[in-house]
Structures are given as C-alpha cells and as structure tokens.
Structure 1
Amino acid sequence: MKRNLLIIFSAIILFSCQEEVVLPLATLDEEVPVIEAIWTDSRNYNGIKLTLAENYFDTTDVKVITDAEVKIRVTGTQKIIPFYFNKNSDDYQPINEFEVARIGENYEVLVNWNGNAYSAKGLMLEPPTVDSLTYSFQEKRIFRDEGYYIKVYGKIPYQNDNYYRIKVIVNDTLKNDRSDYLLFDDTFGLTFFEEGLELNYAFEEDDQVRLELFRMNEDAYNYFSQLVGLLYNDGGLFSPPPQNPDSNFKVDVGEGDVLGYFLVSPVLSEKVKIEEKEE
C-alpha cells in the first residue's frame, strides 16, 4: 500500500512540474535556392522551378528566381538542352519544346545562379504497365466513406529501382494534401499491383478522374517520403524537430546550401469517368 501511494505521489509531482517548452527553429541567414526539376517523357510535365527558401513560419509570397542559367546535359554525350525562363509559368522550360527524357539515358541538370553552380543527376527508367482502371460502389465502413472506389491493375516486372508515386487529379484538380502523396516501393512485394491497387478515396458519380504513375530514382523517392514525414510533423512532444528533406542537388561551385529535387521519370496517365452502373 505504501508503495502504491509513493507511485501516485511521485506521478503528481511529475505532472505538476511540467512546463510547455518552445524550441526555437533555425532561421535562414543567407539566400538558399530551392530547385524543383522535373524531366519526363512527356513535355507537359517538364519544367524547372527556382525559388528562394523561406523560414518555417514565413507567410510572405515565395520569391521566384528569374535570372539563373539552366540546362540539362545528357551524360556521356556532348548534348546540352538549354532552358529559358517562361514568365507565364514562372519556371524554366527547354528552348526546344520537343525535347523530352528517353528511356535508358542519364541526365544531369546544371543550374548557375548568383555565382554558385548546382547539379543533380537522374536515370530515365522504363515504365511499368497499367492494364486497366475499375471502380465499384461501396457502402460506408469504419474509417471509409460511402462512394465509388477505384482499383488500378498493372504489372511491375522489375527487380530493382521500384520506387513509385501516383498522383490523383479529380475534375482537373490535383489532390495535394499530405495524405495524397501516394508513394510505394517493393518492400512488401508488388503482386498487389497485379491484384488491383485500391485508392483510398471515395469518388462521386460524374467525377472525371485521372491517375498519373511515376517511376522514380531512389533519391527522388526518398525526398518525397521525407517530405510526407515533414507534413505530418505536428510539433508534439514525440515529433522530431522539422527539417528539410535531403536534396539530391549538390553545390559544385560556391558556398551555402541548396534545397529541392531532380525527378527523372516516365509518366503513365489513365482516365476514367465515374458513372452509375446498372444492376
């Protein structure tokens, strides 16, 4: 009995001494570029966006870098793909709009800005296969809303470099919340893709749904995985201090840091319209 009272008394003392501790976050003392470079086999997705990093609680508008020199080099060759700044899209586009990534080629993006030089590399991998999209109506269940659920059927025959992302666009609007980063690899095998990968969304009748499947290099996949972890960081007692995802860019000339990613990937795009099915 005395032992139980001692435990209770100790617990009361412990909780009465708790205080809210606010840990200061690191702030930027210099201009740090953020490079978001996408290079695919479809020109509609390609572009390189340069902005300046902001402090964690900064609410000012993002500053776009418009005066950089940007190009992509096909490694192992003399081929250079120059880019220009497009004021309409606020990013850098290839001067030759028909230039796209090709399977098996290695690419290096080169960015010169403010006396510094940055680079990142990526390999264009073969795409998997998407055979079909199906959907069915499901009643409300625990943790799941009533609605139409889509299954994606396909094949992933590769033994290595299995890093994927699915984007979901509904009625021309990209689902872009933290729970919408659909990333998967082969940690638990890939047979589920052949058996039908069900998306955890309840769609409505007449929804126009487009799915985009990307096969990424491991470093780009790790970037997005860490980004998801950051988005889920609530700053609680058991959450680590927020930090930027590891970039696959490096500083070749100059000093300071660089943030962002270089994504080289094939893109598979499939559409379906949700319609009521007759019994």
Structure 2
Amino acid sequence: MSAVVALDVGGTGLKGAVVDRSGRLLCAERRATPRDEGPQAIAEAALTFAGDLAAGGPARDAGGTVHVALAVPGLVDDTAGWVRLAPNLGWSDLPLRTLVEERLDLPALVWHDARAAALAEGMLGAARGARDWLLVTIGTGIGGAVIADGRALHGTRGAAGELGHIGVAPDGPLCACGKRGCVEALASGRNLSVRYAELTGEADVAAEQIVARAERGDVSAQLVWETAVGALAAGLAGCAALLDPELIVLGGGVASAGDRLRDPLARRLATEVRFPPAPPLRTAALGERAGWIGAALAGWQAAGAEPGEVARWTL
C-alpha cells in the first residue's frame, strides 16, 4: 500500500509519523529539537529524522515511502517549498523541500504548520463541517490559519494567519521577530516560561505548570497567565472583527489547558468583540498530533488520494 512520512518541526520537538493510505498509523516517534546547536543543526536533525522514518521497517513493510511531508512554523511558501523565515528555528530563506528531495531521493512537500493542522482539524477534528473559521496554534510560538469558504488563505508571502505577530502591547517584551509586544511574546509557551522566570527567578517552568500554579493561587503565575489570555483576546478580537469567522479552534501545547484557557479567553473576547458577536471557541480535537496528521493528509493528497478518501481516516 506504501506510506507517507510526515514530520512536524517545532521549536521544542520534532514529531514524526509513518501513515499508510488508509490512515493507519504505522509508526510515531518524537525527538528533541536541537535549538541550542543552531539553525543548521535543526535542519540536519529534521532531514535525518525524515530519512530514518523513510528507511525504517514500518515504511519498508508498507511497500516503501511515496512522499515526505513536513509541517514547519514561520513564513512558509508552500508552493515553492521554501521557509522564508522561521524565527524560533533560526531559519531564513531555506529551500527545505529541495534539501529533503536531494537527501532522500523522494518527492516532498513543505507546509506551514498551522495550515497543516487546520487541514487536519477541518477534515477530521474540531472544525469538521465548518467553512469559515480560524485555527490558533499556541506552542513554543504562536501561529494561525485562516480558512475561508473551506480553503486556507496563504497571502502574498505565505504569512496569512500569523496571529502571533500581531502587536498588542507597543511597550511589551521583545519578540523573536524583532518587534515589541507581539501576541507571541506574551502568550506562547516559551514566553510564558520566560515571563515567569523574570518575576520569580525560577527558570524552565513549563506552561502547564504555570497554569496549575495559577489555579493554586501563585500570584506570579496568575499575572503571567492573565497577561497571556489578555494578549490572545486582543489579537483574536482584531481577527474576528475583520474576518467574522463562525468559530475559532485553539490548538497547540498550551491549548491542552482546555477549559482553563478557553473559558477566561471566551470571557475576555466577549468584552473585546461586540459587533458582530464574538465567535465560539473550541479546543482542537487532535491536540499536538494535528501538525503531523495534516502533513500526512497533504502528503497523501499530493500522492493522488482523493479528499473523500482521506476524510474517512480514523487517526
């Protein structure tokens, strides 16, 4: 039946999978992103990981790899397969598709990670049946995808949906993009940890721990979390006013907080958006798997599978 290798390249981890045409998961693995070693090391780690999956037993047993599909954060030219800018990975003008194809001698595609996740959530997850909606991915960084009439908007340079780099606090902290006060600088998982460390001196406290401490009454954690929720609400309010979506789906690692994020965010968003009314919020159904599932869907569609065929997957 053959297989597609799907890889979700994140600022913290690389999530890989091998999926056959019926949607059967043959292999799943996660490796650390070597951020401390620099952008070239990250690229090499992604290429090596994809190569290992393509050459591994599950792919061989399925009849070989027909496509390699990567989901990547930042400004991504999906058509050309170039990563124009990925601040959290240190990449700039990287011809990633060409690098993969030359290394593995296999056809490859490169998609923006949020657009890949949106494909997965729209076909198999929380937005199934919706035509006009937004996906927000809140992880190491913050990305997003705009779905209009069932199709993902790309923009002139592949930057449509970059909620994370909407400015909401002109005097706020410096973002990885070089601007101050972006939503990402205040609300991403990595920057939640940074802000908490600045207040307490305690480094490397993960976002989920900060949320738990806020619930237990930790004043510093409460301040960091409330600031993050406010920044997200401000960014989403602008998107809602401009696009009038039928719903907003919250994905990524920080969104695993579930009601602890969705409920206060919905309350803040309702005060920010009066006309039209604020759209409902849903937590992504596929969680952190959405990036590689979307990449696998895209890979199989590129290899000739029909949308109706992959829409029956049960991953």
Higher strand share: 1
Higher helix share: 2
In the superposition, the TM-score normalised over structure 2's length comes to 0.26
In the superposition, the TM-score normalised over structure 1's length comes to 0.29
Structure with higher Rg: it is 1
